[in-house]
């Protein structure tokens, strides 16, 4: 097969010119491409009103150290949730791969989605596969320069739009786009657009299947997740080859029953399944790591089977076991383990995200000096209280003490504390105990912070009040 790519990276790459195909899986793939592009390009423009914060539905604001995703606001300190989300995504990938092979690669991977669009552009400008092969082999002339030039120009337009759209997630899109086109945007925005334009152009336009075959690590370690029950795109070799192998549909061998009587398989050796393959492999040679399970060869073969009046499904989604006459087995120990782990991580993630505190309070006792004996004999301890407001509203808090008999709280010139949205503030609190109230060396007590806007919301922090032993003894003796 001249279009089959080499299996060794050091060998010369053979160009692939995939033929277009119609069918059920092609329709699904097209629907996913349209959905993915619509979401990716339109999301930065979706407005979302917030009391305090950007009015963009999805925005990753690096300078404010906050990510807004609809009603969720994540701050830099919420990085744990991001890590947990990636753990969840990785487990989901393992779980799905164990059951249904590389469906992610075939339908949802950015590389697949963008390469698909680039191939459509190529097809639209240069024509169907034979026309593209002819154009590639022809000498350079005005027509070739125009067609190849227009293809690369349109690829660059899509690549640039991809980089631009990505950048718009990192600032207020309507302002940022004006700044970009008037060259007033930050340098980082320009570098990001340039980088993504080049990588998209190279990966989806030039490298294409080479990215899946040689650069993507997933293709290499997927075998660890595969077993004989994993659903993959497979050629039914028993049916396709018969006893005497494949045969072109000659006059005598076109009828299905005649063909079977003659001992030939159902594969008419048309090569359509190979011609539509974006990675250029022949699925009839068995499962290969280059296969991204895009299922276009199923559509191709079904088209041929329909045209010659044979049953469809010579190439189909199936497992190795099923192809050899066994039963479909979805629930396997490995799948159950992945599934249970997925449920555990999902529960922790969604429960934790819902229950996460919108305010972090930390208190540190000032230790130099640990205590001060005031002129009237009272003892004073000093505390640094840090409050992190993770909401997008102004926050006013009152502070009080609990569990320290006779203690007086002194916040300096404040009687309540103000913290701006998505920011933190540190303030100092002096806690004094009159001499006559001194009981013991170390007293446990609590700071109680109350939200003035939502009075039901309180946060407590337990700490120690320290009194020197000598003073405790004196006070006890006096009593």
Q: Considering only the stretches 41-49, 217-225, 296-304, 401-409, report the one whose residues sit in contact with ligand SF4 under the rule CB under 6 A.
A: 296-304
Q: Which is nearer to ligand SF4, 315 or 387 (CB)?
A: 315
Long-range contacts of 195-203 (CB under 8 A, 24+ apart): 195/163, 196/159, 196/162, 196/163, 196/166, 196/167, 197/156, 197/159, 197/160, 197/162, 197/163, 198/159, 200/114, 200/158, 200/159, 200/162, 200/163, 201/155, 201/156, 201/159, 203/111, 203/114, 203/115
- Residue 271 as a binder of ligand SF4 (CB under 6 A): the answer is yes
Cα–Cα distances in Å, from 82 out to 73, 76, 90, 158, 322? 12, 10, 12, 29, 39
Give the separation between CA 203 and CA 115, rounded to whole angstroms. Answer: 8
Give the separation between CA 102 and CA 230, rounded to whole angstroms. Answer: 10
Q: Considering only the stretches 295-303, 342-350, 354-362, 387-395, report the one whose residues sit in contact with ligand SF4 under the rule CB under 6 A.
A: 295-303
Which of 301, 385, 438, 449 contacts ligand SF4 by CB under 6 A? 301
Q: Which is nearer to ligand SF4, 126 or 279 (CB)?
A: 279
Which of 150, 156, 198, 270 contacts ligand SF4 by CB under 6 A? 270
Torsional class of 412: left (φ above 0), alpha (ψ -120 to 50), beta (otherwise): left
Which of 296, 385, 417, 429 contacts ligand SF4 by CB under 6 A? 296
Give the separation between CA 397 and CA 452, rounded to whole angstroms. Answer: 6
Q: Which is nearer to ligand SF4, 294 or 404 (CB)?
A: 294
Which of 113, 189, 304, 397 contacts ligand SF4 by CB under 6 A? 304
- Residue 117 as a binder of ligand SF4 (CB under 6 A): the answer is no
- Residue 94 as a binder of ligand SF4 (CB under 6 A): the answer is no
- Residue 313 as a binder of ligand SF4 (CB under 6 A): the answer is no
Which of 281, 359, 379, 395 contacts ligand SF4 by CB under 6 A? 281
- Residue 292 as a binder of ligand SF4 (CB under 6 A): the answer is yes
**Number of residues in contact with ligand SF4 under rule CB under 6 A:** 29
Burial (CB count within 10 angstroms: exposed 0-12, middle 13-18, buried 19+), residue 188: exposed
- Residue 165 as a binder of ligand SF4 (CB under 6 A): the answer is no
Nearest to 218 by CA among 101, 371, 329: 101
**What does the per-residue mask of binding to ligand SF4 show for 356-385, with x meaning CB under 6 A?**
------------------------------
Supply 360's token pair.
């972090």
Which of 273, 404, 417, 429 contacts ligand SF4 by CB under 6 A? 273
Overall residue count recorded for the chain in this entry = 479
Burial (CB count within 10 angstroms: exposed 0-12, middle 13-18, buried 19+), residue 34: exposed
Which of 36, 59, 180, 291 contacts ligand SF4 by CB under 6 A? 291
Q: Considering only the stretches 90-98, 298-306, 342-350, 373-381, report the one whose residues sit in contact with ligand SF4 under the rule CB under 6 A.
A: 298-306
**What does the per-residue mask of binding to ligand SF4 show for 409-448, with x meaning CB under 6 A?**
----------------------------------------
Give the separation between CA 474 and CA 306, rounded to whole angstroms. Answer: 102
Q: Which residues does 53 contact at the CB level (< 8 Å), separation at least 6?
A: 66, 68, 73, 392, 421, 422
Q: Which is nearer to ligand SF4, 23 or 278 (CB)?
A: 278
Helix, strand or coil, per DSSP, at residue 317? strand
Give the separation between CA 471 and CA 373, rounded to whole angstroms. Answer: 9
Give the separation between CA 184 and CA 454, rounded to whole angstroms. Answer: 42
Q: How many CA atoms lie within 13 A of 29 on its CB side?
A: 28
For the segment 225-264, give every residue that binds ligand SF4 (CB under 6 A).
233, 235, 240
Q: Which is nearer to ligand SF4, 189 or 283 (CB)?
A: 283
Per DSSP, 417 falls in state E
Q: Considering only the stretches 128-136, 180-188, 276-284, 340-348, report the one whose residues sit in contact with ligand SF4 under the rule CB under 6 A.
A: 276-284
Q: Which is nearer to ligand SF4, 13 or 152 (CB)?
A: 13
Give the separation between CA 450 and CA 397, rounded to whole angstroms. Answer: 5
Per DSSP, 62 falls in state T
Q: Considering only the stretches 89-97, 280-288, 335-343, 394-402, report the one whose residues sit in contact with ligand SF4 under the rule CB under 6 A.
A: 280-288
- Residue 180 as a binder of ligand SF4 (CB under 6 A): the answer is no
Q: Considering only the stretches 167-175, 266-274, 363-371, 468-476, report the one whose residues sit in contact with ligand SF4 under the rule CB under 6 A.
A: 266-274
- Which segments within 265-373 are labelled E, that is strand? 315-318, 359-365, 372-373
Q: Which is nearer to ligand SF4, 296 or 399 (CB)?
A: 296
- Residue 315 as a binder of ligand SF4 (CB under 6 A): the answer is yes
Task: Provide, rounded to whole angstroms, the least separation between the CB of residue 246 and ligand SF4.
Answer: 6
Supply 113's token pair.
């989605």
Q: Which is nearer to ligand SF4, 165 or 304 (CB)?
A: 304
Task: Provide, rounded to whole angstroms, the least separation between the CB of residue 393 and ligand SF4.
Answer: 51
Q: Which residues does 393 contact at the CB level (< 8 Å), separation at least 6?
A: 51, 52, 421, 453
Dihedral sign from CA coordinates of 105, 301, 4, 134: negative
- Residue 159 as a binder of ligand SF4 (CB under 6 A): the answer is no
List residues near ligand SF4 by CB under 6 A. 233, 235, 240, 267-273, 276-279, 281, 283-284, 291-297, 300-301, 304, 314-315
């Amino acid at each position: 097969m001249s279009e089959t790519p080499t299996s060794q990276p050091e060998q010369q790459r053979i160009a692939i010119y995939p033929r277009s195909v119609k069918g059920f899986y092609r329709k699904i793939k097209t629907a996913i491409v349209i959905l993915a592009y619509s979401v990716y390009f339109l999301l930065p423009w979706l407005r979302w009103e917030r009391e305090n914060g950007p009015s963009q539905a999805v925005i990753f604001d690096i300078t404010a150290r906050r990510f807004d995703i609809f009603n969720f606001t994540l701050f830099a300190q919420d990085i744990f949730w991001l890590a947990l989300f990636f753990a969840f995504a990785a487990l989901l990938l393992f779980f799905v791969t164990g059951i249904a092979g590389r469906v992610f690669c075939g339908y949802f991977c950015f590389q697949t989605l963008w390469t698909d669009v680039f191939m459509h552009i190529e097809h639209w400008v240069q024509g169907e596969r034979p026309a593209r092969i002819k154009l590639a082999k022809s000498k350079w002339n005005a027509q070739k320069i125009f067609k190849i030039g227009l293809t690369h120009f349109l690829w660059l337009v899509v690549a640039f739009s991809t980089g631009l759209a990505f950048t718009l997630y990192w600032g207020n899109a309507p302002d940022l786009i004006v700044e970009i086109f008037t060259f007033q945007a930050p340098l980082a925005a320009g570098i990001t657009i340039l980088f993504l334009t080049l990588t998209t152009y190279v990966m989806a336009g030039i490298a294409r299947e080479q990215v899946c075959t040689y650069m993507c690590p997933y293709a290499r370690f997927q075998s660890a997740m595969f077993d004989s029950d994993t659903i993959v795109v497979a050629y039914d070799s028993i049916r396709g080859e018969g006893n005497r192998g494949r045969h072109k549909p000659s006059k005598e061998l076109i009828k299905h029953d005649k063909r079977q009587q003659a001992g030939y398989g159902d594969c008419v050796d048309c090569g359509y399944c190979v011609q539509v393959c974006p990675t250029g492999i022949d699925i009839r040679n068995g499962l290969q790591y280059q296969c991204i399970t895009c299922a276009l060869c199923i559509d191709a073969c079904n088209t041929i089977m329909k045209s010659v009046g044979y049953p469809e499904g010579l190439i189909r989604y199936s497992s190795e076991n099923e192809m050899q006459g066994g039963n479909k087995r979805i629930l396997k120990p490995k799948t159950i383990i992945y599934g249970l782990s997925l449920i555990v991580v999902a529960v922790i993630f969604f429960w934790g995200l819902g229950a996460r505190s919108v305010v972090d309070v930390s208190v540190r006792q000032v230790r130099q000096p640990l205590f001060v004996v005031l002129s009237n004999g009272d003892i004073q301890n000093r505390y640094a209280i840090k409050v992190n407001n993770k909401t997008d509203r102004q926050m006013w808090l009152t502070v009080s003490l609990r569990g320290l008999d006779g203690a007086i709280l002194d916040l300096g010139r404040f009687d309540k504390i103000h913290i701006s949205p998505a920011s933190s503030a540190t303030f100092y609190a002096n806690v004094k105990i009159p001499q006559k109230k001194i009981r013991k060396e170390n007293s446990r007590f609590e700071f109680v912070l109350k939200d003035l806007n939502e009075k039901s919301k309180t946060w407590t922090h337990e700490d120690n009040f320290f009194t020197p032993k000598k003073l405790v003894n004196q006070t006890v003796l006096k009593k």
